[in-house]
Copies of this chain bind each other. A is one copy, B any other.
Amino acid sequence: MALITETYLRAQLIKGLANPFPVTEGDKLTPAAADFLKERGIRLQRVASEPSGTLPPNFLPVGVSNRHVHLAPHHIDMLFGNGYRLTPLRELSQKGQFAAVETVAVKGPYGSLSNVRILGPLRGATQVEISRTDGFELGVHPPIRLSGDLADTPGITLVGTKGTVTLNEGLIIAKNHVHASPEEAQILRLNHGDRIHVQAMGERSIIFADVIVRVSPQYSLDFHIDRDEANAAHLTTGDTVQIISKNAERRLR
């Protein structure tokens, strides 16, 4: 027995919807779901109940990252004064990570962004993560990279309360990715380095293709996207998306 919604049907589109569409005893369709099938000329077919225990839905929670900065120790000294320590504002989904009370201004050749949040703890290298939309505002167009992959990225200027830092590199647009602990990865049958297709299931059923999975005891389950991706897919932190395929070799059925 299941409640079949338009959102569910829309998420199934990529795999193809059978015509007639099988519904088991006790299944209910929402009026929007019934319209959705009718619009496409898909009829309903009553079938016997399936045994339970078939594949579980593969859902991932969404974490939307707004523009932010990770600082190296020598840069925090230059921006806020020698020996300055960040004040945690709130914990983030990944263990030990926090949003700080402190912010910086980010200045580009064309414009600037004020009140850009600093995330802690400190890192070995300073990294500034913006969206493509932010890049148009700043007048700089960084590549799409995974965190930490800073070779051949552009620099940018940061302004703190006590000083200014002009970076030679470190500005990126974050590449979307999935974080998972080993236990979570096992439940979802994911391995470190897997590349998956993930679909938003709301009003804008975008599919994120070739999303990299990163597994570590430090991680908690999260599908990390930036604000442009969130707005394009109509997603908000705490929404869920569905894994619809895994790795290139596995064909979508």
Considering the complex, which residues of chain A in the window 191-230 have a beta carbon less than 8 Å from any beta carbon of chain B? 195, 197, 199, 203-210, 227-229
- In this complex, what residue of B is CB-closest to A141? B234
Which of A67-75, A86-94, A242-250 contacts its partner? A242-250
A211 to chain B, nearest CB (A): 10
Q: In the complex the two chains form, what is the Cα distance from A245 to B13 in whole Å?
A: 10
Considering the complex, which residues of chain A in the window 37-61 have a beta carbon less than 8 Å from any beta carbon of chain B? 40, 42
Q: By CB atoms of chain B within 10 A, which of A13, A197, A204 has the most? A: A204
User: How many identical chains are in the complex?
Assistant: 2
Query: Does A162 count as interface, using CB distance less than 8 angstroms?
Result: no
Q: In the complex the two chains form, what is the Cα distance from A250 to B133 in whole Å?
A: 35
B231 touches A133 (CB 8 A): yes
- In this complex, what residue of B is CB-closest to A40? B248
A210 touches B203 (CB 8 A): no
Q: In the complex the two chains form, what is the Cα distance from A194 to B205 in whole Å?
A: 16
Q: What is the interface size of chain A, counting residues whose CB is below 8 A from a CB of the partner?
A: 40
A96 to chain B, nearest CB (A): 29
Partner pick for A251 among B16, B210, B250, CB 8 A cutoff: B16
A232 touches B234 (CB 8 A): no
B144 touches A10 (CB 8 A): no
A8 to chain B, nearest CB (A): 13
